[in-house]
Structure 1
Amino acid sequence: MQDEKKYTRIDEIPVDYFANKKISGNYLLINEIGRGTFGLVYKAKDLSNQNYSSESFLAIKLMFVPNIKNENDRLREQEIRDEIKKYSTQIFNPRVVKIQDYLQWENFLLIVMEYVDGQSLQDMLKEKDGTLTFEEIIYYFSEIALGLQGVHDMNMIHRDIKPGNILLSKDKKIKITDFGISHVKGFVYEGGNAKKTLKPSSPGTPRFASPEQYIETDSSSEDKVSFQSDIYSLGVMMYEATTGVELIKINDPRLFKPQDDKARKDRNSYLLDQTLVAEIVSPSVINPSIDKSLEYIIMKCLEKNVAERYKTANEVARDLKAIGRGEKIIIKKSKNEPYRTDSIKKLENENKKFNTFISTFINAKVVPIVACIFIIFVLLIFVLIW
């Protein structure tokens, strides 16, 4: 194909454009099975492996090699390559898609991965009108949390946890995928030398990104993104799977309580404001039937203050499994944790107390007084008539 290099954006490439294309004599691209902002994913075969059965496949992600214009571009390309190398050479949690190879082909960087025959969590949510049952929430999200722990144990932060990056096999096993913007916490390799990392350039998918991923840092500042950034994203997914609505949605007062009524014309500014500042409405405001312990878990994942969130993904899995067994869990709520349902209940209780007081006062005071006045009035009329 002589015109392949003419494409400079993923969304310009036609669907199945590379179908039946051989790559470096080793891989055969079969058909396109997914695409995102930064890459295409193809179902593929390993032509060099004679032991592969006719049903054995791989998944290959194609990303454009960065257009190197300056030193920063070169460093970013090297960071991508080094992170892929580090990822692919490690023994991973079985809940994480395994990378088997990486290479450059023409103007594309290819990541060769384990193929998962099934669907994404995003596809499943669409089939179920956006919500999962309590049992499904417990199973899938405890498994996702355990998979995340495997990523974090590698000293890596995924940074783009969302339903589209969670694959579900036909036997209901979960696999976390798409480490295109993952970040090795604390360092990257450059020419074999460890180099301290700065804040990554992209905050991931805005709707699922944690507040700290939006905060601008000085070029000399240390990266503020932590493992708990992924835990926040996990909380967003659970919130949406229990309510059926997006956590951040323009002009939807049910989801966020704005700090003021100023007009927000710019969508990015709105998302930034909501993520960093606005109060999150508890899931039970939208779905009153939600299990209260599950709601506490979700809201603890969604704490804006990193220190108030779960410390590890294992802790999230532990609590989810516990409430799935019907056990009680204790989650200490922070002073600034915005559970609006608590405020509503407090108001309801105050109203009940007030109504009880009014009822008692009327029965004990007002009724006798009115009765006395009525009797006096009748007596006066009787006296006047006589």
Structure 2
Amino acid sequence: MSYNNNWIANAILQGHINHYEYKDFYNVKEIGSGGFGKVYRANWKNSHILALKSHNDSTAEKFVNELKIQRRVNMHDNIIKFYGIATDDQNYSSNKYLLVMEYADGGTLREYLRQNFGSLTWNNKFKMAYQLADAVLWLHNSDVIHRDLHSNNVLIHKGVIKLADFGLSKKIDESITSQQGGVIPYVDPKKFALSRYSLDKKSDVYSIGVLLWEISSGRPPFSNENRFGLLEPILRGHRETPIPNTPKDYEKVYTGKCI
């Protein structure tokens, strides 16, 4: 058994992590996938809907990192809840682990804005902006940097922001040397301008600013431009401009950060 699998097994056996069995889930449906693995929607026992997140063998270390971070920041209302680990055997020796998490019925922030933007008031947008900023502040106060904030890592459940996907997150006292896996428009430009630059709290704040612009506009940043040529203009200071009729108070929140 690898170190990562052994760590998970010991945490389950010692009662630090709740254990679920695959056989107790039904109506399992894939709802997303990526380099990390896959995400499923499933009913559990009494028909309660949960999300299950798998991992590829190559991302096992990130899986354990995400598990540790989730446990660390699990108490905030605007962070997706972590419930435990699912395995398919009684000895916890399987290589197939799933994170068992809160299911967000509104999907990603990007999907939610695409489908509901026309009905959102500025009061709704202010509320979403506050929830997002408060969740990241909780991370930072817990000595955690997210490092990968974008509108596909922010979920919506019952109209409420839920921060998710901590696979690239780090505790602040850990060195950050892994390759940046974020989406360019949301990433602190210093990461690309300085070869040895480590993403920090200010980098998360930059990403929040971009997300607040997206909430105000209803579309991803630079969606009308060629994504392949974006990096150089961004490094030269190119930013999205405020949407017409944006309240000055809202505009001030994010223009001082990055836009």
TM-score range, shorter chain: 0.7 to 0.9
- Give the total of aligned pairs: 235
**Counterpart in 2 of 1:239?**
213
Q: Provide the C-alpha distance between the structure 2 equivalents of 1:111 and 1:271, rounded to a whole number of angstroms.
A: 35
Matched, 1:99 2:58: no
Matched, 1:182 2:169: yes
Compute the displacement of 1:175 (Å).
1.4
For the 8 Å contact 2:108–2:152, the answer to whether it is kept is yes
From 57, 64, 70, the counterpart of 2:56: 64
Q: Provide the C-alpha distance between the structure 2 equivalents of 1:281 and 1:88, rounded to a whole number of angstroms.
A: 36
So what's the TM-score if we normalise by structure 1? 0.53
Residue aligned with 1:229, SS: helix
From 245, 248, 252, the counterpart of 1:289: 245
For the 8 Å contact 1:125–1:131, the answer to whether it is kept is no
Q: Provide the C-alpha distance between the structure 2 equivalents of 1:24 and 1:128, rounded to a whole number of angstroms.
A: 34
The Cα offsets for residues 262-311 of structure 1, whole Å up to 9 and x where unpaired, read as xxxx92xx33213322332531xxx33222232222211216xxxxxxxx
The Cα offsets for residues 299-333 of structure 1, whole Å up to 9 and x where unpaired, read as 11216xxxxxxxxxxxxxxxxxxxxxxxxxxxxxx
Matched, 1:275 2:253: no
The Cα offsets for residues 222-265 of structure 1, whole Å up to 9 and x where unpaired, read as x621122222112112212323454335657xxxxxxxxxxxxx
Compute the displacement of 1:138 (Å).
0.5
Matched, 1:169 2:157: yes
**Which residues of 2 match residues 287-366 of structure 1 at below 5 A?**
287-302=243-258
Matched, 1:205 2:183: yes
**Counterpart in 1 of 2:200?**
226
**Counterpart in 1 of 2:113?**
125
Compute the displacement of 1:141 (Å).
0.9
Compute the displacement of 1:169 (Å).
2.2
For the 8 Å contact 2:70–2:82, the answer to whether it is kept is yes
For the 8 Å contact 2:176–2:199, the answer to whether it is kept is no
Residue aligned with 1:290, SS: coil
So what's the TM-score if we normalise by structure 2? 0.76
**Counterpart in 2 of 1:141?**
129
For the 8 Å contact 1:88–1:101, the answer to whether it is kept is no
Structure 1: gaps spanning 5 or more residues: 1-21, 48-52, 67-75, 188-196, 253-265, 304-386
Q: Provide the C-alpha distance between the structure 2 equivalents of 1:277 and 1:109, rounded to a whole number of angstroms.
A: 44
**Counterpart in 2 of 1:261?**
none
Q: Provide the C-alpha distance between the structure 2 equivalents of 1:279 and 1:173, rounded to a whole number of angstroms.
A: 31
Q: 1:144 to 1:117 in 2, by over 3 A?
A: same
**Which residues of 2 match residues 251-266 of structure 1 at below 5 A?**
251=225
Compute the displacement of 1:151 (Å).
1.9
Compute the displacement of 1:103 (Å).
5.9
Residue aligned with 1:63, SS: coil
The Cα offsets for residues 29-74 of structure 1, whole Å up to 9 and x where unpaired, read as 6112233343321122445xxxxx33x12211112011xxxxxxxx
**Counterpart in 1 of 2:68?**
85
Matched, 1:248 2:231: no
Q: Provide the C-alpha distance between the structure 2 equivalents of 1:29 and 1:292, rounded to a whole number of angstroms.
A: 47
Q: 1:274 to 1:102 in 2, by over 3 A?
A: farther
Compute the displacement of 1:126 (Å).
0.8
For the 8 Å contact 2:206–2:258, the answer to whether it is kept is yes
Q: Provide the C-alpha distance between the structure 2 equivalents of 1:288 and 1:121, rounded to a whole number of angstroms.
A: 21
Q: What is the aligned-residue identity percentage?
A: 26
Comparing both chains, which one has the higher relative contact order based on Cα–Cα distances under 8 Å and sequence gaps of 6 or more?
Answer: 2
Q: 1:215 to 1:158 in 2, by over 3 A?
A: same
Q: 1:118 to 1:243 in 2, by over 3 A?
A: closer
Compute the displacement of 1:145 (Å).
1.0
CA RMSD, Structure 1 to Structure 2 (Å):
3.1
Amino acid at match of 2:237: A
Q: 1:79 to 1:203 in 2, by over 3 A?
A: closer
Amino acid at match of 1:230: D
Q: Provide the C-alpha distance between the structure 2 equivalents of 1:109 and 1:160, rounded to a whole number of angstroms.
A: 23
Amino acid at match of 1:64: N
Could you list the structure 1 runs, at least 4 aligned residues long, displaced by more than 3 angstroms after superposition. Answer: 22-29, 76-80, 102-109, 128-133, 215-218, 243-246, 249-252
**Counterpart in 2 of 1:40?**
38
Structure 2: gaps spanning 5 or more residues: 1-19, 89-93
Q: 1:249 to 1:273 in 2, by over 3 A?
A: farther
Residue aligned with 1:186, SS: coil
